[in-house]
Amino acid sequence: MTDKYLIEPDVNFIKEIVGLGGDSLKKCYQCATCSVVCPISPDTKPFPRKEMIYASWGLKDRLVNNLDIWLCHHCGDCTTMCPRGAKPGEVLAAVRSYAITDYAVPKVIGQAVNDPRKLPILMGIPVVIFLVLGLITGLLDFSPPLGEHGIAHHLFFSSWLVDMIFVPLSIWAVVVFAIGLKRFINDIHENAVLEGKTQKKELDFVGLGKALWRILPTILKHDKFTECDENSDRATPHLMVFWSFIGLFIVTNIFFVVLYVFQQHGPYSQLNPVKWLANVSGVALVIGSALLIKNRLVKAKTDQTSSYQDWYLLGLVLGLGVTGLLTQATRLAGLAGLTYFMYFIHLVFVFDLFAFLPFSKLAHIVYRTVAMAYNEYSERQ
């Protein structure tokens, strides 16, 4: 006897996907060209054809809980080859944006991050926090004296004030991700069992951890990007941004240890190898993000579109890199007032990066990594 399924379309979900950039989804007439041309779609239950069905019908649970929306790297092959202009890549990108907001709590922050009208508020929040805490604690000095080595940013914006704000902020981001990931992993496993993507009924977290280890080289080398044709030019700048963040993360942790363990304040010599890594990472971040912006401006003239979520992330990353390099350049040039101003603006960008990381498009680095690990764990062909 044929199995029966109760379909409950969610019209509001369809409207939200349309608003997030998936306005072309109703053009799909299920020819399956997208699944055929996709070079990274699995042989078992390939995407994105079935996801286009789910989106058209408003089947929220079948989409948001679906690991396949994260296996898609939005390379653009399916969008270019679609005979109806349904833009499957853009639809899946819209679904991912919705899923990020759905898994992150509190949801009001996710809604604000996705609303361009709230951008001034998001940028203003750290300014208020810095000024209020700085003035209350006395750790923000607008007329700092010269340090032992000349201009020193920690005399203006104390290292204690930086850590008083950013250590709890980092913990906040980890906690928000942990809450979302717990539900995410259970959901994609339940969905995988339901759709026959895995024969493993019980979720084995040890096995999932081993699968993550096996898939790391693919992630670090961005192998999936090079398998796509249409947007292969995105691979190098994306890789530059990815590795620049890793480099800056390493630098930040080294200098944190140097400051609190060895009691050595900056500024540090330009001949310091860690400083080399910081400078190379900063330059790579600016060049990589600028190339990604250029790529999107070019694509905007074709069939591919970019949502506000795309521009918000690219603007944040570029702003982070530019203000960081300008902070150092103006310090070396002896421009005290300008370098302190640039440092303050740089910290605003860093704050927004950490505070809203689980709610922005950048959260894909976490969710896609877990999805790729689960796909490896499921032994799906």
140 vs 147, residue with greater confidence: 140
Instruction: Round the average pLDDT of the chain to a whole number and report it.
Output: 88
Burial class (CB in 10 A: 0-12, 13-18, 19+), 113: buried
CA distance 208 to 181: 13
Residues 315 and 266 in one domain: yes
Q: What is the mean pLDDT of residues 291-313?
A: 79
Residues 218 and 352 in one domain: yes
Residues 241 and 360 in one domain: yes
**Domain count within the chain:** 2
CA distance 25 to 9: 15
Would you say residue 3 lies in a domain? no
- Pick the last residue of a domain from 67, 85, 103: 103
Would you say residue 6 lies in a domain? no
Q: What is the mean pLDDT of residues 188-210?
A: 89
Q: Tell me how crowded residue 196 is: count the other CB atoms within 10 A of its CB.
A: 10
Residues 249 and 275 in one domain: yes
- Pick the last residue of a domain from 47, 75, 103: 103
pLDDT at 360 over 70: yes
Residues 251 and 356 in one domain: yes
Residues 206 and 236 in one domain: yes
> For the chain, how are helix, strand and coil distributed in percent, rounded to 5?
70, 0, 30
- Pick the last residue of a domain from 103, 121, 153: 103
Residues 282 and 324 in one domain: yes
Q: Give the Cα-Cα-Cα angle 299, 241, 342 (nearest 5 degrees).
A: 105
pLDDT at 1 over 50: no
Q: How many residues does the chain have?
A: 381
pLDDT digits (tens, 9 = 90+) for 17-74: 988 888 888 888 888 898 888 888 888 788 899 889 898 888 888 899 999 999 888 8
Q: Which of 149-163, 203-217, 236-250 has the lowest average pLDDT?
A: 149-163
Q: What is the mean pLDDT of residues 202-215?
A: 92
Residues 236 and 149 in one domain: yes
pLDDT digits (tens, 9 = 90+) for 61-88: 889 999 999 988 888 788 888 898 888 8
**CATH no. for residue 51?**
1.10.1060.10
Residue pair 35/49 in contact by the 8 Å Cβ criterion: yes
Domain with 313 in it: 109-377
Residues 130 and 77 in one domain: no
227 vs 309, residue with greater confidence: 309
- For residue 213, what pLDDT band results from cuts at 50, 70 and 90? very high
